[in-house]
C-alpha cells in the first residue's frame, strides 16, 4: 500500500465511512402481508439495527441520536420474486396437533434484492451515550475480540447474511447517496416501534453527498 493509497484509506477511517456487502436480502414494507414487497433501498431503521448487531448491542435505544448517511455503489439493485409456502397454524383445542398442509398452508410471494453494495457514514456527535456508536464500530473492526455478540451477521431478516463489513475504499466505486427530500419519491422508515408498529418515515431522492444526506435515528414522535 503506497503513501497516497494509505492516506486515502486513513481518510475513510477518520470520516467513519463503511462498506457493507450483502448477496441477497429483503426490506419488507410495513404494510406487506401475503405479498412481501421490499423497499428498493436500505431503510435507515434497518441499517441502524445492523450496526447495533455488529457491535453486539441488544438495546435498540442505546444509540438514539446517531446520524446516518446511506449510499450504494453500482446500479439500483434488481428485484427478484420468489414463491414459497407459508404455514399458518391455529393453536386451539380443535386443531391441536393437527397441521394439515391443505388447511394451514398457502402460497407466499416475496421480493428479494441481490448483490447489494452499501456505503454508510456515521456521526455520533449528538448521541447521549458515553461510548458512541461510531467508536464501537471502529473498535469492533480493529479489535474484534473486544466485542461480545452472537449469531450470524445479517442485513434485515436473519437469513440475509452479509458477505462483509469494513472501511470503504476509493476503488470500491462511486457512491450514489440518499438525500432527504420532502418531495422525493423514495419513502423509507427511520424508526419502527416494535410494540405499536408505528413508524417515523422520511422521503429521499438520489444524488451526491451533502448535508441533506444525514438522518437522525430517534424515537417515534409522529407517523407519516
Read off the C-alpha cell for 171: 476503488
pLDDT, residue 84, reads 74
- Mutual angle of helices 44-55 and 133-142, in 10-degree steps: 50
Mean pLDDT, 10 residues at a time, the chain of 224 residues: 46 74 91 79 96 95 96 92 71 57 70 95 93 95 90 91 96 96 95 75 96 90 44
In this structure, the dihedral spanned by the alpha carbons of residues 219, 156, 81 and 202, taken in order and rounded to 10 degrees, is: 30
The predicted pLDDT at position 8 comes to: 45
Check: CB of residue 123 under 8 Å from CB of residue 134: yes
147, 139 contact by CB (below 8 A): yes
For 13, the enclosing helix (H) or strand (E) is helix 3-14
Measured torsion, CA atoms of residues 121, 112, 151, 120, in degrees rounded to the nearest 10: 0
| Helical spans, DSSP H, in 39-158 | 44-55, 101-104, 133-142
Residue 211: its pLDDT value, please?
A: 96
Domains of the chain: 3-216 (3.30.70.2660)
For residue 54, give every residue at least 6 positions away whose Cβ sits within 8 Å of its Cβ, in sequence order, or none.
137, 140, 149, 153, 165
Cα 176 to Cα 29: distance, rounded to the nearest angstrom: 22
- pLDDT for 9 equals 45
Query: Rounded to 10 degrees, what is the CA torsion of 157, 121, 202, 160?
Result: -10
Amino acid at each position: 500500500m503506497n503513501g497516497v493509497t494509505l492516506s486515502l484509506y486513513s481518510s475513510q477511517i477518520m470520516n467513519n465511512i463503511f462498506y457493507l456487502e450483502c448477496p441477497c436480502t429483503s426490506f419488507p414494507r410495513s404494510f406487506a402481508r401475503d405479498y412481501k414487497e421490499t423497499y428498493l433501498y436500505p431503510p435507515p431503521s434497518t441499517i441502524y439495527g445492523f450496526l447495533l448487531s455488529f457491535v453486539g448491542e441488544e438495546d435498540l435505544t442505546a444509540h438514539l441520536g446517531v446520524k446516518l448517511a446511506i449510499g450504494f455503489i453500482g446500479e439500483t439493485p434488481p428485484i427478484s420474486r420468489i414463491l414459497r409456502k407459508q404455514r399458518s397454524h391455529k393453536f386451539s383445542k380443535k386443531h391441536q396437533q393437527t397441521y394439515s398442509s391443505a388447511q394451514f398452508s398457502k402460497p407466499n410471494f416475496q421480493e428479494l434484492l441481490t448483490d447489494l453494495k452499501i456505503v454508510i457514514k456515521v456521526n455520533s456527535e449528538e448521541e447521549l451515550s458515553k461510548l458512541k456508536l461510531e467508536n464501537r464500530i471502529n473498535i469492533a473492526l480493529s479489535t474484534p475480540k473486544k466485542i461480545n455478540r452472537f449469531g450470524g451477521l445479517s442485513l434485515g431478516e436473519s437469513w440475509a447474511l452479509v458477505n462483509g463489513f469494513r472501511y470503504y475504499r476509493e476503488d470500491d466505486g462511486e457512491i450514489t447517496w440518499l438525500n432527504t427530500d420532502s418531495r422525493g419519491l423514495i419513502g423509507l422508515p427511520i424508526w419502527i416501534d416494535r410494540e405499536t408498529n408505528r413508524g417515523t418515515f422520511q422521503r429521499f431522492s438520489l444524488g451526491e453527498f451533502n448535508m441533506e444526506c444525514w438522518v437522525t435515528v430517534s424515537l417515534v414522535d409522529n407517523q407519516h
